[in-house]
Structures are given as structure tokens and as C-alpha cells.
Amino acid sequence: MNMAQNIALLRENGVPESNIVTLITYYPRTTAPKNDLFKQRVEEIKQMGFDLSNNLFVIALHVFTSMNKSTWKKKLEVYQRWGFSQNEVLLAFRKHPWFMSHSEKKIMRHMDFFVNKMGCEQAIIITYPYLLGYSLEKRILPRCSVLRVLILKGLVKENCNMGSLIITSEKHFLEKFVTKYENEFPQLLDLYKGNTSSLLGFRYGIEEVDGKNLM
């Protein structure tokens, strides 16, 4: 009964049928709450500035209803500890609703890396909120290790766009940051793959990042 009433509410608010199907198929529990609570959550999402005809609304509703108000508030406070205003957090949430789905531990770990280890400004996270969704070990550390080497050897400028570097495809990253410089630094691919043993004979700055050597 709740689901039928909630779906009817979504239709009344102009949510396209295709998005309702997506919600029911992938996030069925999102439409299960009692009608009054569901209506309240939809109104809160609308007040955050979401367009209910956009497919991002479906994800935002799922993320928002998957946690209680206390958990939402704690995550908001974690971001604010890193200097974000509430409006900035909501801006990132509107761009990429999964931004608020990460655990407090993951938010802290990723923010510590980007801000304290890589010297990034918080603004880059607002511009690229997807960054917190990537694996630190499998994607972010390897790419930043390559970037650090290229900067230290003067092959890439220090103001390189960190967000673009992380989110770009594997093929494009390899072409632009690895194979392009294989003549100047043939060990770069080994570094990217995590094999640093072949680099021991080289002298360059090394920074300890999250228990690993970031070149």
C-alpha cells in the first residue's frame, strides 16, 4: 500500500515514468516508507534544489532515505570539519548524490589524502565530487604517484588538474601521463602498476602517503 501511494506521489510531482521504473527496479526499498515520511523526504529533496524530472533525483532520494537524520547530520559535520559550508556540501550532493553515501571513515581518509598529502583545495572536491568514490589504493594513489614523479622531473606543471587526472579513463591516462614520457622515464609504468623495485636506483623526492611511497 505504501509503495503504491508513494509512486502516485512521484507521478504527481512530475517524476518521469522511466525514472520511477529505475527506482523500483534498483532501489525498491526507497519507496517502502509510510506515505507521510516519504512525502516529507521528497519535499526535503525538492528544497535542496533537485529537479524531480532529472534522473539524479532518483539517486538523491535513494541516498537520502537510506540513512536517518542523525547519520546525515554527522556526514554533513564531517565535511564541515574540512572547511565546507552547508551550501557547498549540497552543491556537491546535487552534482553527484553518491557524495553523501560514503562512510565517515572514507570521507576523512580521502579528504586527508587530497588536502594534507596532495595539497588540494577543498574547491576541487566541489568541482569533482566523484573523487571520493574512487579507490584510494587502486586508482588515486597510483595516478598521484605518477603525477608526483612527472612534477618533480619537470615534465608536468604543478598546477595540473588533479580532478581531471583522477576521473579520466584508463586509456587516456596511460596515453597522456605514462606512455607519453616513457623515453624520459621508462620506469613510470612500473610505478603506476605498484612495482617500485625498479626505481631504487633513482634519486628523487619521496613523500610518504598513507603508508606508501608517493613519488
Q: Give the per-residue pLDDT at 211.
A: 42
Identify the band that residue 195 occupies on the pLDDT scale cut at 50, 70 and 90.
Answer: low
Cβ atoms 53, 14 nearer than 8 A: yes
Which phi and psi angles does 154 have, rounded to 5°?
75, 20
Cβ atoms 54, 16 nearer than 8 A: no
Q: Give the per-residue pLDDT at 182.
A: 86
Domain ranges of the chain: 2-65, 71-132, 135-214
Using one digit for the tens of pLDDT, what is the confidence trace for 44-102? 999 999 999 999 999 999 999 999 999 999 999 999 999 999 999 999 999 999 999 99
Average pLDDT over residues 162-190: 90
Average pLDDT over residues 16-29: 95
Q: Give the per-residue pLDDT at 185.
A: 84
Res. 200: pLDDT tops 50 = no
Tell which wins on pLDDT, 11 or 207. 11
Cβ atoms 132, 202 nearer than 8 A: no
Cβ atoms 2, 34 nearer than 8 A: yes
3-state SS assignment for residue 109: helix
Average pLDDT over residues 116-122: 86
Average pLDDT over residues 141-154: 88
3-state SS assignment for residue 209: strand
Stated as kind and residue range, the H or E segment containing 4 is helix 2-12
Dihedral of CA atoms 130, 211, 194, 136 in degrees, nearest 10, equals -10
Q: What phi-psi label fits residue 139: left (phi over 0), alpha (psi between -120 and 50 degrees) or beta?
A: alpha
Average pLDDT over residues 128-148: 92
Identify the band that residue 2 occupies on the pLDDT scale cut at 50, 70 and 90.
Answer: confident
Identify the band that residue 155 occupies on the pLDDT scale cut at 50, 70 and 90.
Answer: confident
Mean pLDDT of the chain: 87
Of 69, 53, 62, 60, the closest CA to residue 18 belongs to: 53
Give Cβ neighbours of residue 86 (< 8 Å, ≥ 6 apart): 76, 80
Tell which wins on pLDDT, 73 or 152. 73
Which phi and psi angles does 212 have, rounded to 5°?
-125, 160
